[in-house]
Chain A
């Protein structure tokens, strides 16, 4: 069976044998950094390709099919094109902030990918406040977007950035509260604990009504936090041309794109971990035989299967829904999602105290 504990444990033992405690830690940090970077790039390539194919599937097109096998190398060709473009900044822009903004966005993404448990042994650091850490780190990305919009010195960018600021700050709340629901069920913020607590069944089944409500709210609010359609107010192509990244050329534009795709992966990953059991196979309480069969599918496959299912759902939103207007967007959050999630929080507290969940 494919498990990473052998690999990671082997590396750890080998390093400890050769470098001592501090050296091992430093080397592991280095390896983790490289793995995150490569993983991010790989993930954005995969999702970029997937998005094009999904869009093409929904729009009666073929999608990329020329470069490489079935167009798989198209995205690499596009990246190369962006790399060779002139790194241009508008004359009236604030150069320092203009150049800094994409990096803020990407660094935030790198920070938030770390505690995702992809496999029992493949989790870069299992912090005991994992859920809290992720939800707080991802909220920094709004600074990157605001800085990008402000420093471009372009009215479209400014409008896009302001929209994005209002949107992310609002939807953070209901996304956070729906995460708290699962924290209340599992009794821990640690991702590994949350996954282990779903060994008998996933929280979306065990937590019945409150978990289901929280899941729906999480998907909606998460899509809004990602600035993806139908909540792509910040870009709003038909209104603001390109929104906050109107002025960005070449690779710095690609970095926003990269961050968007990796954020999509992180969001889907968190959703899969909290609600759908993460790497935990599909178990049903007492059905020993069934559970045993499910255990044969490696955890990595489970994790990526669930994650990519959620990613597909979010892409599906993007290619079928029209965009909301900015005031409707805020109305949806403050008048509907937020009250519902607060009530849901009370409900979940009741359910947990009375032990009504399975």
Chain B
């Protein structure tokens, strides 16, 4: 018996089916995702994602590192929200070793996380335009993303995989220019976000391409385990920052953006509005960074007691869960990540079947897939 023979793989292989492989190298998969799609004319009859092209066994490798080291691998999972990934790991370890994070470190973490979310959504917006056939948004969004990454570079030394969170706080204090540069950037970003709307949001073709496409109901989104903007666009309230506040999100005023249509345009709108919310969070905090320590005192080698911990944070794509088991040694016994993209991708077939190839691409764009996060 062939262990790898599943029901769906049998389904695809019949003579008269027109099977097209999208990926692993394809402009619209944003990485090495492989979709086997069955077509009837232009209509998609079946979608089967094949995963694993960029599997690097991050979970297993995490067991080899100690509690300070393993979070650095997670920057490479969802590289567009690397800061939030590190944050989840840091919070999990802090829970395990029972350390209070100083107020300043928490605020810095939120600031960085929201800037990361902005940068991530901006990249998504550009890629969305590209997928739907408009090339110009990509360049416009990269202009703004670049200015955010430069701020990261000042403080963290890196632009993408920041590795800025450590158990107990953040690795370094903020760069002296940080506040000044962020304050300068915010009005520009606000102006440019309006430009995003002018260029794409109201466009007739864009609305035609996205409204009513890839609809998923709230119940279905829940049952597929969707989270983040994908679930919120279907009316599911699932923002971890609201439901299970961490790092002081409970003290920040922001709205959870919820749309009810559940189509591509709703997902688009949720992300566009989330950018405004992120800007408002940054605005609230940038002038109120408390003085004090940026890192709590921790031992050199962290040895939590036996036990297990589960921590979740809201990354730019949805809910990231970190499940940590300690056996009392310096290395984690087991680390399991619940990544948002994996679950969001699982809903792809539900959304795409019955649509056209163009719809499939639009749906993938609004799922905002980051492939390394799916395979890990």
Q: Which one, A55, A58, A229, A240, contacts B357 given CB within 8 A?
A: A240
Cα A321 to Cα B205 in complex, Å, equals 7
Bound-complex Cα distance A30 to B168 (A): 83
User: Which of under 10, 10 to 19, 20 to 34, or 35 or more describes the interface residues of A?
Assistant: 20 to 34
Q: Type the 1/0 row for A127-165, where 1 means its CB is closer than 8 Å to any CB of B.
A: 000000000000000000000000000011001000100
Instruction: Decide yes or no whether A308 CB sits under 8 A from chain B.
Output: no
Assuming A241-B27, A320-B134, is B359 touching A325 (CB within 8 A)? yes
Whether B361 is near chain A, meaning CB under 8 Å from some CB there, is: yes
Residues of B close to A241: CB separation below 8 A:
26-27
**B27/A324 in contact, CB under 8 A:** no
Interface flags, A317-358, vs B, CB<8A=1, else 0: 001111111111000000000000000000000000000000
- A239: CB under 8 A from chain B? yes
Chain B: interface secondary structure?
helix
Size class of the contact patch on chain B: 20 to 34
B18 touches A155 (CB 8 A): yes
Q: Are B42 and A59 in contact (CB under 8 A)?
A: no
- The reply to whether A230 and B205 form a contact with Cβ atoms under 8 Å apart is yes
Q: Which of A155, A229, A232, A240 has its CB near the most chain B CB atoms (within 10 A)? A: A240
Interface string of A88-124 (1 = CB under 8 A from B): 0000000000000000000000000000000000000
Q: Are A60 and B134 in contact (CB under 8 A)?
A: no
226-244 of chain A: CB within 8 A of chain B: 229-230, 232, 236-241
Q: State in angstroms the CA–CA spacing of A326 and B361 once bound together.
A: 13
Known: A155-B20, A321-B205, A322-B205. A61 touches B139 (CB 8 A): yes
Measured in the bound complex, the distance between the Cα atoms of B249 and A259 in whole Å is 58
Within 8 A of A (CB), among B91-141: 129-136, 138-140
- Cβ-defined contact, B135 with A60, below 8 A: no
B356–A238 contact, CB under 8 A?
Answer: no
Cα distance A230–B203 in the bound complex, in angstroms: 12
Q: Looking at the complex, which one of A55, A159, A323, A326 makes contact with B205 (CB distance below 8 Å)?
A: A323
Can you list 26 contacts pairing A with B, beta carbon distance less than 8 Å?
A55-B135, A58-B136, A60-B140, A159-B20, A159-B42, A163-B42, A229-B133, A230-B205, A236-B133, A238-B28, A239-B28, A241-B27, A319-B136, A320-B134, A321-B134, A322-B132, A323-B133, A324-B209, A325-B208, A325-B356, A325-B359, A326-B42, A326-B356, A326-B357, A328-B205, A328-B209
List residues of B whose CB falls within 8 A of some A CB.
18, 20, 26-28, 39, 42, 129-136, 138-140, 143, 199-200, 203, 205-206, 208-209, 356-359, 361
